[in-house]
Amino acid sequence: MEGKRAEEIALNRDLWALVNERFTGPAAEGLWSRPELVWGLYEIPERHLGVLGEVDGLDVLELACGTAYCSAWLTRSGASVVAVDLSAEQLRTARALQRRTGPTFPLVQADAEHVPLATASFDLVVSEHGAAAWCDPERWLAEAARVLRPGGRLVFLTNSLLSALCVPADEGVATDSLHRGQRAAYHIRWPGGGAEFHPSHGDWIRLLRRFGFSVDALHELYAPPDAPDHPYYEIVSTAWASQWPAEELWVARRATR
């Protein structure tokens, strides 16, 4: 299993180098310049969801940060942030934005399943469409729990389970039919490259509880009525995401003991 997982991680690293070249790199400056944090494919404003609360003065870790636009916003809001990502190319984009526009904060190249940071170092762990889909939940949740202080919070965004069930086997946007069973969606190797994890709600709750978390909230994110289709990611169409949730935003809290 270790060898197979290492192969998948290498595959994902190569995929994100390509994604950074084609989309996340060119899109990064616009996201870094936004005055407020937005979530997901349809850029739902944080002020509409209120999942982070006051971050001024908090020690925050962003897992699978990509080009680190979320960390930039958190830093501007007064948090002390460390951003971690597997992709050297995406971190290179983030460093360029730090030099060009600021703010600056530590960028660490590492896998969210093996975080090279001290235990009980953070008040908040955030992952905006990163760790939850691309990392083994039994491994990255254990790491999130380890680095959080007692009572710390975990906020993560991922594709909705329903979208994972409805994307065809050869990829493309979700349809109104189920293309795989719920158990099969837990761990998917896509033919076009990339290995993902899409646990059921029951799986997420079981795993969160195993690692000492309680669930505060689950927000199901739909497309706003006037939203266009995403310019790059072919996961759901706006028409589909107007009827069913495209993404899930989980909020959990580490036990105080």
Residue 137 corresponds to which tokens in the numbers above?
Answer: 């939940």
Q: Evaluate if pTM is beyond 0.85.
A: yes
For the segment 159-183, what is each residue's pLDDT rounded down to a tens digit? 999 999 999 988 889 999 999 999 9
For the segment 85-120, what is each residue's pLDDT rounded down to a tens digit? 999 999 999 999 999 999 999 999 999 999 999 999
pLDDT confidence bin for 4, thresholds 50/70/90: confident
Q: Looking at the predicted structure, is the pLDDT value of residue 1 above 70?
A: no
Question: Average pLDDT over the chain, rounded to whole?
Answer: 94
* Res 203: pLDDT: 98
Please report the DSSP string for 201-254 in residue order: HHHHHHHHHHTTEEEEEEEEE---TTPPPPSS--S--HHHHTTS-SEEEEEEEE
* Res 172: pLDDT: 86
pLDDT confidence bin for 231, thresholds 50/70/90: confident
State how far the Cα of 105 lies from the Cα of 80, in Å rounded to an integer: 8
State how far the Cα of 198 lies from the Cα of 64, in Å rounded to an integer: 16
Contact by Cβ (8 Å): 122, 59: yes
Residue 233 corresponds to which tokens in the numbers above?
Answer: 């990611």
Does 61 or 10 have the greater pLDDT score? 61
User: Of 223, 227, 220, nearest to 240 (Cα)?
Assistant: 223
Q: Looking at the predicted structure, is the pLDDT value of residue 36 above 80?
A: yes
Return the number of other C-beta atoms located less than 10 Å from residue 198's C-beta: 26
